[in-house]
Structure 1
Protein backbone atom coordinates (compact mmCIF):
# COMPACT_ATOMS: atom_id res chain seq x y z
CA UNK A 1 0.00 0.00 0.00
CA UNK A 2 1.40 3.33 -1.08
CA UNK A 3 0.35 6.35 0.98
CA UNK A 4 0.40 9.76 -0.67
CA UNK A 5 -0.17 12.74 1.58
CA UNK A 6 -1.95 15.82 0.24
CA UNK A 7 -1.81 18.85 2.50
CA UNK A 8 -2.76 21.72 0.21
CA UNK A 9 -5.96 22.60 -1.58
CA UNK A 10 -3.77 23.78 -4.46
CA UNK A 11 -2.46 20.26 -5.08
CA UNK A 12 -3.24 19.44 -8.76
CA UNK A 13 -4.59 15.96 -8.01
CA UNK A 14 -6.82 17.27 -5.22
CA UNK A 15 -8.18 19.92 -7.58
CA UNK A 16 -8.92 17.19 -10.12
CA UNK A 17 -10.83 15.18 -7.51
CA UNK A 18 -12.78 18.26 -6.51
CA UNK A 19 -14.05 18.58 -10.08
CA UNK A 20 -15.67 15.13 -9.83
CA UNK A 21 -18.68 16.70 -8.13
CA UNK A 22 -20.34 17.12 -11.54
CA UNK A 23 -20.78 15.36 -14.87
CA UNK A 24 -18.35 17.61 -16.73
CA UNK A 25 -15.38 16.66 -14.55
CA UNK A 26 -16.37 12.99 -14.54
CA UNK A 27 -16.44 12.92 -18.35
CA UNK A 28 -13.19 14.83 -18.68
CA UNK A 29 -11.12 12.71 -16.31
CA UNK A 30 -12.93 9.37 -16.55
CA UNK A 31 -13.09 9.17 -12.76
CA UNK A 32 -15.77 9.34 -10.07
CA UNK A 33 -15.93 9.33 -6.28
CA UNK A 34 -17.92 6.74 -4.34
CA UNK A 35 -18.50 7.33 -0.63
CA UNK A 36 -19.93 5.18 2.15
CA UNK A 37 -18.07 2.52 4.09
CA UNK A 38 -20.15 -0.40 2.85
CA UNK A 39 -19.99 0.73 -0.77
CA UNK A 40 -16.22 1.14 -0.66
CA UNK A 41 -15.77 -2.25 0.98
CA UNK A 42 -17.95 -3.99 -1.62
CA UNK A 43 -16.14 -2.37 -4.55
CA UNK A 44 -12.76 -3.42 -3.17
CA UNK A 45 -14.02 -6.96 -2.58
CA UNK A 46 -15.95 -7.60 -5.80
CA UNK A 47 -14.74 -5.00 -8.32
CA UNK A 48 -11.16 -4.09 -7.28
CA UNK A 49 -10.13 -3.38 -10.87
CA UNK A 50 -12.67 -0.52 -11.03
CA UNK A 51 -10.98 1.30 -8.14
CA UNK A 52 -7.88 3.41 -8.79
CA UNK A 53 -7.30 4.66 -5.25
CA UNK A 54 -8.76 5.57 -1.87
CA UNK A 55 -9.13 8.87 -0.08
CA UNK A 56 -9.17 9.16 3.71
CA UNK A 57 -8.26 11.46 6.57
CA UNK A 58 -7.46 8.58 8.94
CA UNK A 59 -5.52 5.38 8.25
CA UNK A 60 -7.09 3.75 11.29
CA UNK A 61 -10.55 4.47 9.90
CA UNK A 62 -9.58 3.03 6.53
CA UNK A 63 -8.21 -0.16 8.10
CA UNK A 64 -11.36 -0.62 10.16
CA UNK A 65 -13.41 -0.71 6.96
CA UNK A 66 -10.93 -2.59 4.78
CA UNK A 67 -8.88 -4.77 7.14
CA UNK A 68 -7.12 -6.81 4.46
CA UNK A 69 -3.97 -5.71 2.69
CA UNK A 70 -4.58 -2.94 0.17
CA UNK A 71 -2.95 -2.78 -3.24
CA UNK A 72 -4.47 0.56 -4.20
CA UNK A 73 -2.79 3.91 -3.54
CA UNK A 74 -4.17 5.79 -0.54
CA UNK A 75 -4.43 9.58 -0.50
CA UNK A 76 -4.22 10.90 3.05
CA UNK A 77 -5.78 14.35 3.47
CA UNK A 78 -6.40 16.71 6.38
CA UNK A 79 -10.01 16.44 7.53
CA UNK A 80 -10.81 19.90 6.16
CA UNK A 81 -9.79 18.93 2.62
CA UNK A 82 -11.38 15.50 2.92
CA UNK A 83 -14.73 17.08 3.79
CA UNK A 84 -14.68 18.96 0.49
CA UNK A 85 -14.58 15.63 -1.37
CA UNK A 86 -17.06 13.89 0.92
CA UNK A 87 -20.00 15.24 -1.05
CA UNK A 88 -22.62 13.49 1.11
CA UNK A 89 -20.96 13.97 4.48
CA UNK A 90 -20.50 10.25 5.26
CA UNK A 91 -17.21 10.73 7.10
CA UNK A 92 -16.03 7.41 5.61
CA UNK A 93 -13.19 6.69 3.18
CA UNK A 94 -13.88 7.43 -0.48
CA UNK A 95 -13.12 5.19 -3.46
CA UNK A 96 -11.84 6.71 -6.70
CA UNK A 97 -13.55 4.82 -9.52
CA UNK A 98 -12.70 4.31 -13.15
CA UNK A 99 -15.60 5.38 -15.38
CA UNK A 100 -16.46 3.73 -18.69
CA UNK A 101 -16.03 3.36 -21.52
CA UNK A 102 -19.63 2.43 -22.25
CA UNK A 103 -20.67 0.36 -25.23
CA UNK A 104 -23.28 1.68 -27.65
CA UNK A 105 -26.64 -0.05 -27.45
CA UNK A 106 -27.11 -2.66 -30.16
CA UNK A 107 -30.46 -4.41 -30.37
CA UNK A 108 -28.85 -7.58 -31.75
CA UNK A 109 -27.12 -8.10 -28.39
CA UNK A 110 -30.36 -8.67 -26.53
CA UNK A 111 -32.05 -12.04 -26.75
CA UNK A 112 -33.58 -12.69 -23.36
CA UNK A 113 -34.97 -10.84 -20.36
CA UNK A 114 -35.35 -7.10 -19.86
CA UNK A 115 -33.21 -4.25 -21.09
CA UNK A 116 -33.98 -1.00 -19.31
CA UNK A 117 -33.92 2.32 -21.18
CA UNK A 118 -33.50 5.43 -19.03
CA UNK A 119 -33.93 9.08 -20.06
CA UNK A 120 -34.09 10.42 -16.47
CA UNK A 121 -32.44 13.79 -15.99
CA UNK A 122 -32.40 13.62 -12.20
CA UNK A 123 -29.26 11.65 -11.22
CA UNK A 124 -30.99 10.37 -8.07
CA UNK A 125 -33.67 8.75 -10.23
CA UNK A 126 -31.02 7.23 -12.51
CA UNK A 127 -29.26 5.77 -9.48
CA UNK A 128 -32.47 4.37 -7.98
CA UNK A 129 -33.42 2.76 -11.30
CA UNK A 130 -29.97 1.19 -11.68
CA UNK A 131 -30.19 -0.23 -8.16
CA UNK A 132 -33.60 -1.74 -8.96
CA UNK A 133 -32.30 -3.12 -12.26
CA UNK A 134 -29.43 -4.85 -10.47
CA UNK A 135 -31.75 -6.20 -7.77
CA UNK A 136 -34.19 -7.75 -10.24
CA UNK A 137 -31.69 -9.23 -12.68
CA UNK A 138 -31.62 -6.73 -15.54
CA UNK A 139 -28.38 -7.36 -17.41
CA UNK A 140 -28.23 -4.13 -19.41
CA UNK A 141 -29.26 -0.54 -18.71
CA UNK A 142 -29.20 1.85 -21.68
CA UNK A 143 -28.79 5.52 -20.83
CA UNK A 144 -30.44 7.71 -23.44
CA UNK A 145 -28.91 11.07 -24.37
CA UNK A 146 -31.20 12.94 -21.98
CA UNK A 147 -30.10 10.89 -18.97
CA UNK A 148 -27.93 12.19 -16.16
CA UNK A 149 -24.45 10.69 -15.91
CA UNK A 150 -24.63 7.35 -14.04
CA UNK A 151 -21.48 8.20 -12.03
CA UNK A 152 -22.73 11.58 -10.87
CA UNK A 153 -22.38 11.77 -7.04
CA UNK A 154 -26.15 11.83 -6.55
CA UNK A 155 -26.55 8.80 -8.80
CA UNK A 156 -23.83 6.89 -6.98
CA UNK A 157 -25.41 7.78 -3.65
CA UNK A 158 -28.58 5.98 -4.78
CA UNK A 159 -26.98 3.12 -6.72
CA UNK A 160 -23.94 2.46 -4.53
CA UNK A 161 -21.81 -0.49 -5.57
CA UNK A 162 -24.71 -1.92 -7.62
CA UNK A 163 -23.53 0.42 -10.38
CA UNK A 164 -21.20 -2.43 -11.39
CA UNK A 165 -23.79 -5.23 -11.23
CA UNK A 166 -25.37 -4.45 -14.59
CA UNK A 167 -23.84 -3.34 -17.89
CA UNK A 168 -24.34 0.34 -18.62
CA UNK A 169 -24.66 1.30 -22.28
CA UNK A 170 -25.36 4.50 -24.20
CA UNK A 171 -28.27 5.05 -26.55
CA UNK A 172 -29.92 7.68 -28.76
CA UNK A 173 -32.09 10.55 -27.64
CA UNK A 174 -35.65 9.82 -26.61
CA UNK A 175 -36.96 11.65 -29.70
CA UNK A 176 -34.92 9.37 -31.99
CA UNK A 177 -35.47 6.18 -30.06
CA UNK A 178 -36.96 3.07 -31.64
CA UNK A 179 -36.59 -0.69 -31.67
CA UNK A 180 -36.80 -2.89 -34.74
CA UNK A 181 -38.23 -6.18 -33.50
CA UNK A 182 -37.65 -6.05 -29.76
CA UNK A 183 -41.01 -5.53 -28.00
CA UNK A 184 -40.98 -2.14 -26.30
CA UNK A 185 -42.99 -1.57 -23.14
CA UNK A 186 -43.46 1.95 -21.81
CA UNK A 187 -44.63 3.11 -18.41
CA UNK A 188 -47.67 5.35 -18.74
CA UNK A 189 -50.58 6.29 -16.44
CA UNK A 190 -52.92 5.32 -19.29
CA UNK A 191 -51.51 1.85 -19.87
CA UNK A 192 -52.54 -1.66 -18.94
CA UNK A 193 -52.33 -2.76 -15.32
CA UNK A 194 -48.74 -3.93 -14.89
CA UNK A 195 -49.74 -6.28 -12.05
CA UNK A 196 -51.70 -8.51 -14.44
CA UNK A 197 -49.52 -8.19 -17.52
CA UNK A 198 -47.67 -11.23 -18.84
CA UNK A 199 -44.24 -10.07 -19.98
CA UNK A 200 -42.62 -11.44 -23.14
CA UNK A 201 -39.40 -13.42 -22.91
CA UNK A 202 -37.36 -10.54 -24.29
CA UNK A 203 -38.38 -6.88 -24.15
CA UNK A 204 -37.27 -3.32 -23.58
CA UNK A 205 -38.72 -1.25 -20.74
CA UNK A 206 -38.83 2.50 -21.19
CA UNK A 207 -39.82 5.08 -18.63
CA UNK A 208 -40.55 8.61 -19.80
CA UNK A 209 -38.89 11.82 -18.73
CA UNK A 210 -39.78 13.20 -15.33
CA UNK A 211 -42.80 15.39 -16.01
CA UNK A 212 -43.30 15.22 -19.81
CA UNK A 213 -43.34 11.43 -19.92
CA UNK A 214 -43.01 9.59 -23.25
CA UNK A 215 -43.10 11.74 -26.43
CA UNK A 216 -45.95 11.45 -28.90
CA UNK A 217 -45.22 9.31 -31.92
CA UNK A 218 -42.96 6.84 -30.16
CA UNK A 219 -43.70 3.36 -31.54
CA UNK A 220 -44.18 0.98 -28.65
CA UNK A 221 -45.70 -2.46 -28.27
CA UNK A 222 -47.59 -1.90 -25.03
CA UNK A 223 -47.98 0.75 -22.36
CA UNK A 224 -48.13 -0.32 -18.73
CA UNK A 225 -49.56 1.51 -15.74
CA UNK A 226 -49.05 1.05 -12.01
CA UNK A 227 -52.41 1.06 -10.18
CA UNK A 228 -52.72 3.97 -7.73
CA UNK A 229 -55.33 5.80 -5.71
CA UNK A 230 -57.56 8.00 -7.87
CA UNK A 231 -56.33 11.29 -6.43
CA UNK A 232 -52.66 10.40 -7.16
CA UNK A 233 -51.60 10.75 -10.78
CA UNK A 234 -47.91 9.76 -10.70
CA UNK A 235 -45.08 8.10 -8.82
CA UNK A 236 -41.44 9.00 -8.43
CA UNK A 237 -39.78 7.90 -11.68
CA UNK A 238 -37.20 5.65 -10.04
CA UNK A 239 -39.83 4.02 -7.82
CA UNK A 240 -42.08 3.35 -10.81
CA UNK A 241 -39.27 1.50 -12.59
CA UNK A 242 -38.60 -0.58 -9.48
CA UNK A 243 -42.27 -1.62 -9.18
CA UNK A 244 -42.46 -2.56 -12.86
CA UNK A 245 -39.29 -4.66 -12.65
CA UNK A 246 -40.59 -6.41 -9.54
CA UNK A 247 -43.79 -7.30 -11.38
CA UNK A 248 -41.73 -8.66 -14.26
CA UNK A 249 -39.69 -10.93 -12.02
CA UNK A 250 -42.81 -12.05 -10.17
CA UNK A 251 -44.55 -13.02 -13.40
CA UNK A 252 -41.71 -15.04 -14.94
CA UNK A 253 -42.62 -18.41 -13.45
CA UNK A 254 -46.35 -18.47 -14.27
CA UNK A 255 -46.63 -15.94 -17.07
CA UNK A 256 -43.98 -16.88 -19.63
CA UNK A 257 -46.27 -18.96 -21.85
CA UNK A 258 -48.93 -16.25 -22.06
CA UNK A 259 -46.35 -13.56 -22.74
CA UNK A 260 -44.86 -15.52 -25.62
CA UNK A 261 -48.31 -16.05 -27.09
CA UNK A 262 -49.10 -12.32 -27.00
CA UNK A 263 -45.85 -11.46 -28.76
CA UNK A 264 -46.38 -14.13 -31.44
CA UNK A 265 -49.83 -12.72 -32.13
CA UNK A 266 -48.19 -9.34 -32.77
CA UNK A 267 -45.56 -11.02 -34.95
CA UNK A 268 -42.71 -9.76 -32.78
CA UNK A 269 -41.44 -12.78 -30.94
CA UNK A 270 -39.88 -15.00 -33.58
CA UNK A 271 -36.55 -13.14 -33.62
CA UNK A 272 -36.16 -13.68 -29.89
CA UNK A 273 -36.88 -17.43 -29.57
Structure 2
Protein backbone atom coordinates (compact mmCIF):
# COMPACT_ATOMS: atom_id res chain seq x y z
CA UNK A 1 0.00 0.00 0.00
CA UNK A 2 1.33 3.45 -0.94
CA UNK A 3 2.43 5.62 1.94
CA UNK A 4 0.39 8.72 2.76
CA UNK A 5 2.30 11.87 3.71
CA UNK A 6 0.47 14.13 6.19
CA UNK A 7 0.98 17.89 5.90
CA UNK A 8 -0.36 20.16 8.60
CA UNK A 9 1.87 23.25 8.51
CA UNK A 10 1.69 26.19 6.12
CA UNK A 11 5.47 26.42 6.43
CA UNK A 12 5.84 23.05 4.70
CA UNK A 13 7.83 23.67 1.51
CA UNK A 14 5.64 21.37 -0.60
CA UNK A 15 2.52 23.19 0.50
CA UNK A 16 4.11 26.55 -0.20
CA UNK A 17 4.98 25.39 -3.72
CA UNK A 18 1.45 24.11 -4.36
CA UNK A 19 -0.04 27.38 -3.18
CA UNK A 20 2.11 29.23 -5.71
CA UNK A 21 0.45 27.18 -8.44
CA UNK A 22 -2.71 29.23 -8.01
CA UNK A 23 -1.29 31.95 -10.26
CA UNK A 24 0.46 32.05 -13.62
CA UNK A 25 3.80 33.17 -12.21
CA UNK A 26 4.03 30.17 -9.90
CA UNK A 27 2.92 27.79 -12.64
CA UNK A 28 5.67 29.08 -14.93
CA UNK A 29 8.33 28.98 -12.21
CA UNK A 30 7.60 25.47 -10.96
CA UNK A 31 6.38 23.88 -14.21
CA UNK A 32 3.38 22.37 -12.46
CA UNK A 33 -0.38 22.89 -12.12
CA UNK A 34 -3.32 21.96 -9.88
CA UNK A 35 -6.36 20.17 -11.28
CA UNK A 36 -9.64 19.96 -9.35
CA UNK A 37 -13.16 18.82 -10.16
CA UNK A 38 -15.58 16.00 -9.47
CA UNK A 39 -15.56 14.87 -13.11
CA UNK A 40 -12.33 16.34 -14.42
CA UNK A 41 -10.00 14.59 -11.97
CA UNK A 42 -11.14 11.00 -12.74
CA UNK A 43 -11.34 11.78 -16.46
CA UNK A 44 -7.82 13.25 -16.52
CA UNK A 45 -6.42 10.24 -14.67
CA UNK A 46 -7.95 7.97 -17.30
CA UNK A 47 -6.84 10.17 -20.21
CA UNK A 48 -3.27 11.17 -19.27
CA UNK A 49 -2.28 9.39 -16.04
CA UNK A 50 1.42 9.91 -16.74
CA UNK A 51 1.03 13.69 -16.40
CA UNK A 52 0.39 13.63 -12.64
CA UNK A 53 2.86 13.45 -9.78
CA UNK A 54 0.81 13.92 -6.59
CA UNK A 55 -2.68 13.95 -5.14
CA UNK A 56 -3.79 16.23 -2.30
CA UNK A 57 -6.73 15.13 -0.18
CA UNK A 58 -8.65 16.76 2.70
CA UNK A 59 -9.32 13.53 4.59
CA UNK A 60 -8.65 9.80 4.49
CA UNK A 61 -12.09 8.92 3.10
CA UNK A 62 -11.56 11.16 0.06
CA UNK A 63 -8.11 9.71 -0.48
CA UNK A 64 -9.36 6.14 -0.22
CA UNK A 65 -12.10 6.87 -2.77
CA UNK A 66 -9.67 8.04 -5.44
CA UNK A 67 -6.84 5.62 -4.62
CA UNK A 68 -7.91 2.92 -7.15
CA UNK A 69 -7.50 5.45 -9.99
CA UNK A 70 -4.01 6.62 -9.04
CA UNK A 71 -0.92 5.47 -10.98
CA UNK A 72 2.05 4.22 -8.97
CA UNK A 73 4.10 7.38 -9.51
CA UNK A 74 1.49 9.61 -7.82
CA UNK A 75 2.42 10.41 -4.22
CA UNK A 76 -0.41 10.67 -1.68
CA UNK A 77 -0.71 13.69 0.61
CA UNK A 78 -3.23 14.29 3.38
CA UNK A 79 -3.56 18.01 4.10
CA UNK A 80 -4.97 19.63 7.20
CA UNK A 81 -8.36 21.07 6.32
CA UNK A 82 -7.34 24.78 6.53
CA UNK A 83 -4.42 24.12 4.18
CA UNK A 84 -6.51 22.10 1.74
CA UNK A 85 -9.17 24.82 1.65
CA UNK A 86 -6.54 27.36 0.59
CA UNK A 87 -5.79 25.23 -2.48
CA UNK A 88 -9.37 24.20 -3.18
CA UNK A 89 -10.33 27.47 -4.87
CA UNK A 90 -13.19 25.77 -6.71
CA UNK A 91 -14.67 24.58 -3.42
CA UNK A 92 -14.98 20.94 -4.48
CA UNK A 93 -13.72 19.47 -1.17
CA UNK A 94 -12.44 16.59 -3.31
CA UNK A 95 -8.85 15.49 -4.05
CA UNK A 96 -6.69 17.79 -6.15
CA UNK A 97 -4.11 16.51 -8.63
CA UNK A 98 -0.67 18.03 -9.13
CA UNK A 99 0.44 17.78 -12.74
CA UNK A 100 3.50 18.62 -14.83
CA UNK A 101 3.31 21.42 -17.40
CA UNK A 102 4.65 20.30 -20.80
CA UNK A 103 7.32 22.43 -22.53
CA UNK A 104 5.93 25.30 -24.59
CA UNK A 105 7.98 25.52 -27.77
CA UNK A 106 8.13 28.49 -30.11
CA UNK A 107 5.84 27.86 -33.08
CA UNK A 108 7.47 27.55 -36.50
CA UNK A 109 5.22 29.92 -38.41
CA UNK A 110 7.15 29.35 -41.63
CA UNK A 111 5.58 25.88 -41.80
CA UNK A 112 2.05 25.69 -43.23
CA UNK A 113 -0.82 24.94 -40.85
CA UNK A 114 -2.36 21.49 -40.56
CA UNK A 115 -6.07 21.67 -39.86
CA UNK A 116 -7.29 24.78 -38.08
CA UNK A 117 -4.58 26.25 -35.86
CA UNK A 118 -6.01 28.78 -33.42
CA UNK A 119 -3.81 31.79 -32.62
CA UNK A 120 -4.99 33.29 -29.36
CA UNK A 121 -4.34 36.37 -27.20
CA UNK A 122 -7.08 35.96 -24.56
CA UNK A 123 -5.69 37.12 -21.23
CA UNK A 124 -8.55 36.07 -18.97
CA UNK A 125 -7.95 32.44 -17.91
CA UNK A 126 -11.66 31.62 -17.65
CA UNK A 127 -12.27 32.96 -21.17
CA UNK A 128 -9.28 31.03 -22.47
CA UNK A 129 -10.64 27.86 -20.88
CA UNK A 130 -14.03 28.35 -22.53
CA UNK A 131 -12.28 28.89 -25.86
CA UNK A 132 -10.19 25.73 -25.48
CA UNK A 133 -13.33 23.72 -24.70
CA UNK A 134 -14.91 24.91 -27.95
CA UNK A 135 -11.67 24.32 -29.84
CA UNK A 136 -11.53 20.68 -28.75
CA UNK A 137 -15.24 20.22 -29.49
CA UNK A 138 -14.85 21.43 -33.08
CA UNK A 139 -11.72 19.54 -34.05
CA UNK A 140 -8.91 22.00 -33.39
CA UNK A 141 -5.67 20.20 -32.54
CA UNK A 142 -3.18 23.05 -32.09
CA UNK A 143 -3.35 26.37 -30.22
CA UNK A 144 -0.68 29.05 -30.60
CA UNK A 145 -0.49 31.43 -27.65
CA UNK A 146 0.47 35.06 -28.11
CA UNK A 147 2.35 36.84 -25.28
CA UNK A 148 -0.85 38.37 -23.89
CA UNK A 149 -2.57 34.99 -23.51
CA UNK A 150 -3.28 33.49 -20.11
CA UNK A 151 -1.67 30.24 -19.03
CA UNK A 152 -3.76 27.24 -20.13
CA UNK A 153 -2.70 25.62 -16.83
CA UNK A 154 -4.20 28.33 -14.61
CA UNK A 155 -6.85 26.81 -12.26
CA UNK A 156 -9.59 29.03 -13.72
CA UNK A 157 -8.67 27.98 -17.25
CA UNK A 158 -8.54 24.30 -16.36
CA UNK A 159 -11.94 24.53 -14.69
CA UNK A 160 -13.56 26.18 -17.74
CA UNK A 161 -11.79 23.95 -20.25
CA UNK A 162 -13.13 20.67 -18.79
CA UNK A 163 -9.96 18.72 -19.69
CA UNK A 164 -9.77 20.14 -23.22
CA UNK A 165 -6.16 21.13 -22.48
CA UNK A 166 -5.18 17.46 -22.57
CA UNK A 167 -6.56 17.10 -26.10
CA UNK A 168 -4.71 20.07 -27.60
CA UNK A 169 -1.12 20.81 -28.56
CA UNK A 170 0.22 24.21 -27.49
CA UNK A 171 3.02 26.39 -28.80
CA UNK A 172 3.86 30.04 -28.32
CA UNK A 173 4.15 32.97 -30.73
CA UNK A 174 6.83 35.47 -29.75
CA UNK A 175 5.00 38.62 -30.90
CA UNK A 176 2.14 39.82 -33.05
CA UNK A 177 4.67 40.92 -35.68
CA UNK A 178 5.62 37.30 -36.26
CA UNK A 179 2.20 36.68 -37.82
CA UNK A 180 2.97 39.10 -40.66
CA UNK A 181 5.24 36.53 -42.30
CA UNK A 182 3.43 33.38 -41.18
CA UNK A 183 2.70 30.75 -43.80
CA UNK A 184 -0.93 30.85 -44.76
CA UNK A 185 -3.66 30.97 -45.14
CA UNK A 186 -4.09 33.24 -42.10
CA UNK A 187 -7.40 34.86 -41.15
CA UNK A 188 -8.54 36.91 -38.15
CA UNK A 189 -11.86 37.30 -36.40
CA UNK A 190 -12.99 40.92 -36.57
CA UNK A 191 -16.44 42.43 -36.14
CA UNK A 192 -15.97 44.42 -39.33
CA UNK A 193 -14.71 41.53 -41.41
CA UNK A 194 -16.29 39.66 -44.31
CA UNK A 195 -19.32 37.49 -43.54
CA UNK A 196 -17.87 34.19 -42.33
CA UNK A 197 -21.18 32.41 -42.84
CA UNK A 198 -20.58 32.80 -46.60
CA UNK A 199 -16.90 32.02 -46.46
CA UNK A 200 -15.45 28.94 -48.19
CA UNK A 201 -13.41 27.57 -45.31
CA UNK A 202 -10.17 25.82 -46.29
CA UNK A 203 -9.19 22.63 -44.50
CA UNK A 204 -5.91 24.13 -43.29
CA UNK A 205 -5.58 27.64 -41.90
CA UNK A 206 -4.52 29.77 -38.96
CA UNK A 207 -7.34 31.72 -37.29
CA UNK A 208 -6.33 34.67 -35.10
CA UNK A 209 -8.38 35.75 -32.08
CA UNK A 210 -7.44 38.99 -30.33
CA UNK A 211 -7.81 40.02 -26.72
CA UNK A 212 -11.25 40.94 -25.33
CA UNK A 213 -12.05 44.56 -26.08
CA UNK A 214 -8.88 45.19 -28.09
CA UNK A 215 -9.29 42.72 -30.90
CA UNK A 216 -6.69 42.14 -33.59
CA UNK A 217 -4.20 44.98 -34.26
CA UNK A 218 -5.37 47.19 -37.11
CA UNK A 219 -2.01 46.95 -38.85
CA UNK A 220 -1.99 43.15 -39.03
CA UNK A 221 -2.23 42.41 -42.75
CA UNK A 222 -4.58 39.42 -42.81
CA UNK A 223 -8.05 38.80 -44.20
CA UNK A 224 -10.69 39.46 -41.55
CA UNK A 225 -13.85 37.49 -40.98
CA UNK A 226 -16.89 38.73 -39.10
CA UNK A 227 -20.21 37.37 -37.85
CA UNK A 228 -23.39 39.08 -39.07
CA UNK A 229 -25.68 40.23 -36.23
CA UNK A 230 -28.66 42.53 -35.73
CA UNK A 231 -26.36 45.28 -34.51
CA UNK A 232 -28.27 45.50 -31.22
CA UNK A 233 -24.98 45.09 -29.36
CA UNK A 234 -21.60 46.54 -30.22
CA UNK A 235 -19.83 43.19 -30.46
CA UNK A 236 -19.94 39.56 -29.45
CA UNK A 237 -17.92 38.13 -26.60
CA UNK A 238 -14.65 36.82 -28.07
CA UNK A 239 -15.25 33.25 -26.90
CA UNK A 240 -18.77 33.24 -28.36
CA UNK A 241 -17.51 34.61 -31.67
CA UNK A 242 -14.75 32.02 -31.78
CA UNK A 243 -17.17 29.17 -31.06
CA UNK A 244 -19.41 30.29 -33.92
CA UNK A 245 -16.45 30.51 -36.31
CA UNK A 246 -15.10 27.13 -35.27
CA UNK A 247 -18.48 25.50 -35.78
CA UNK A 248 -18.66 26.90 -39.30
CA UNK A 249 -15.18 25.55 -40.08
CA UNK A 250 -16.11 22.17 -38.56
CA UNK A 251 -19.25 21.99 -40.70
CA UNK A 252 -17.55 23.05 -43.94
CA UNK A 253 -18.11 20.89 -46.91
Normalising by the smaller structure, the TM-score range is over 0.9
Contact in 2 for aligned 1:34/1:160 (Cα 8 Å): no
TM-score, length-scaled by structure 2: 0.93
Counterpart Cα distance in 2 of 1:236 and 1:111: 26
**CA, structure 1 residues 211+183, in 2 after alignment: closer, same or farther (shift >3 Å)?**
same
TM superposition shift of 1:97: 1.1
Mapping of residues 1-273 of structure 1, within 5 Å: 1-65=2-66, 67-68=68-69, 70-71=71-72, 72-220=74-222, 222-251=223-252, 254=253
Distance in 2 separating the partners of 1:162 and 1:109: 25
**Would you say the 8 A contact 2:20–2:26 is kept in 1?**
yes
How large is the Cα RMSD of the aligned pairs? 1.6
After TM superposition, give the deviation of residue 160 of structure 1 in Å.
Answer: 2.9
C-alpha distance in structure 2 between counterparts of 1:93 and 1:201, whole Å:
41
Q: 1:130 and 1:230 mapped to 2: Cα distance?
A: 27
Q: Is the deviation greater in 159-168 or in 67-76? A: 67-76
Shift of residue 92, structure 1, vs aligned partner: 1.6
Q: Which moved more, 1:140-149 or 1:55-64?
A: 55-64
Q: TM-score, normalised by structure 1?
A: 0.87
Q: CA deviation at 1:63?
A: 3.8
Aligned residues: 251
Structure 2 unaligned spans of 5+? none
Secondary structure in 2 matching 1:177: helix
CA contact (8 A) 2:49 2:71 kept: no
Shift of 1:35: 0.7
Give the gaps of 5 or more residues in structure 1.
255-273
Whole-Å Cα distance in 2 between the matches of residues 106 and 2 of structure 1? 45
| Contact kept? 2:58, 2:93, Cα under 8 Å | no
SS at match of 2:213: coil
Aligned to 1:227, the other structure's residue is in SS state coil
Poorly superposed stretches of 4+, deviation over 3 Å? 62-70, 108-111
Aligned partners of 1:66, 1:195: CA distance in 2, in Å? 49
